[in-house]
């Protein structure tokens, strides 16, 4: 069977195999065909569900993941809609909406980061829009001219702003038409359009002394980047949440940032 989906490709590598596997995985959900899942899962597959916070349920191994995904496929009350899929080598970023009712509130938007190895899904890390978890601090930052930078350089500097609590690093990185979809509130996340609005949100986050960001992984492909992170606001086990930002950089500046986190 040939997948019917049109995916965006980025970078180089065995993208055809990845696209085929991810396409068949999506088809299984859209056609409500649990039998198709068995051929797509690696023996050592690791999956992290979107909930509960802060880390999401971790499912390891072939049988456990097959059972988890088959149960989701069979669910008569739920349906997945694909928003965007980007393929780069053995990785895929699948943005989706899951509906469990007819109204707008009866849905959640999320993203799954997929790793394909030897024609099978070896890793699937899920994040979603969630309800707010903590109050945010306040900070401001002056504006300055944009600089030409590679995607890697932009993302590195962006992460430094949060890790060093230095919002003054941000203005050069944000495009005039930048759009943020925050990870909260469900089901869509708050939308912030334009440099001033994006800088206000990120400035408050980066400048807050009570919030601590830890970068777990960064993956860059052409103008796109994925940042997996953990946000802490206390010392307790539940005083944190893990999430992901799906970023797009153009002409050395961030033009799009879509946020998702555990705990939907």
Question: What is the average pLDDT value for the chain, to the nearest integer?
Answer: 86
**Low-confidence winner among 25-34, 50-59, 137-146, 176-185 (lowest mean pLDDT):** 137-146
CB atoms near residue 73 (< 10 Å):
19
Q: Do 3 and 26 contact (CB within 8 A), yes or no? A: yes
CA 199 remoteness from chain centre: 20
pLDDT of residue 38: 96
Q: Is residue 139 predicted with pLDDT exceeding 60?
A: no
Asked if residue 110 and residue 158 are part of one domain, the reply reads no
pLDDT band at 138 (very low <50, low <70, confident <90, very high): very low
Q: Are both 165 and 241 inside the same structural domain?
A: yes
Q: Residue 137's pLDDT is what?
A: 37
Which tokens is 101 given?
């009712």
Residue 17's H or E segment, with its range, is helix 15-30
161 lies in some domain? yes
What lies within 8 Å, CB to CB, of 34 at 6+ separation is 28, 69, 70, 73, 74
Give the whole-angstrom CA distance, residue 138 versus residue 203. 7
Q: Which CATH number characterizes residue 177's domain?
A: 3.10.450.50
Residue whose entry in the numeric block shows the structure tokens 């965007």: 84
pLDDT of 95 strictly over 80: yes
Per-residue confidence at 147, pLDDT binned at 50, 70, 90?
very low
Q: Average pLDDT in the 100-109 region?
A: 78
CA distance 244 to 256: 13
Task: Check whether residue 91 and residue 203 sit in a common domain.
Answer: no
pLDDT at 237: 77
Q: Please choose, from the candidates 136, 148, 123, 133, the residue with its C-alpha nearest in 3D space to the C-alpha of residue 217.
A: 123
Q: Is residue 3 part of a domain?
A: no
Confidence of residue 54 (pLDDT cuts 50, 70, 90): confident
With a cut of 60, say whether residue 169 has pLDDT above it.
yes
Does 191 fall in a domain? yes
In a domain, 142, yes or no: no
Q: How far apart are CA 165 and CA 89, in angstroms?
A: 34
Q: What percent of the chain has pLDDT over 90?
A: 65
Residue 206 domain flag: yes
Q: Which domain holds residue 87?
A: 8-128
């Amino acid at each position: 069977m040939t997948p019917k989906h049109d995916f965006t490709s980025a970078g180089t590598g065995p993208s055809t195999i990845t696209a085929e596997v991810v396409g068949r995985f999506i088809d299984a959900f859209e056609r409500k065909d649990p039998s198709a899942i068995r051929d797509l899962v690696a023996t050592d597959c690791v999956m992290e569900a979107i909930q509960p916070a802060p880390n999401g349920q971790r499912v390891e191994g072939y049988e456990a993941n097959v059972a988890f995904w088959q149960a989701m496929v069979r669910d008569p009350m739920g349906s997945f809609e694909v928003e965007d899929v980007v393929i780069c080598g053995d990785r895929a970023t699948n943005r989706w909406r899951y509906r469990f009712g007819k109204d707008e509130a009866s849905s959640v938007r999320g993203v799954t980061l997929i790793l394909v190895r030897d024609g099978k899904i070896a890793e699937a890390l899920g994040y979603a829009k969630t309800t707010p978890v903590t109050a945010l601090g306040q900070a401001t930052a002056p504006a300055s001219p944009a600089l030409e930078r590679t995607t890697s350089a932009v993302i590195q500097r962006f992460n430094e702003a949060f890790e060093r609590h230095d919002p003054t690093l941000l203005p050069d990185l944000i495009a005039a038409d930048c759009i943020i979809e925050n990870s909260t509130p469900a089901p869509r996340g708050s939308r912030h359009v334009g440099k001033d609005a994006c800088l206000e949100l990120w400035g408050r986050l980066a400048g807050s002394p009570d919030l601590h960001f830890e970068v777990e992984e960064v993956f860059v492909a052409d103008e796109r980047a994925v940042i997996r992170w953990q946000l802490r606001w206390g010392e307790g086990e539940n005083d944190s949440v893990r999430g992901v930002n799906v970023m797009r950089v153009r002409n050395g500046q961030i033009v799009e940032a879509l946020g998702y986190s555990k705990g939907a």
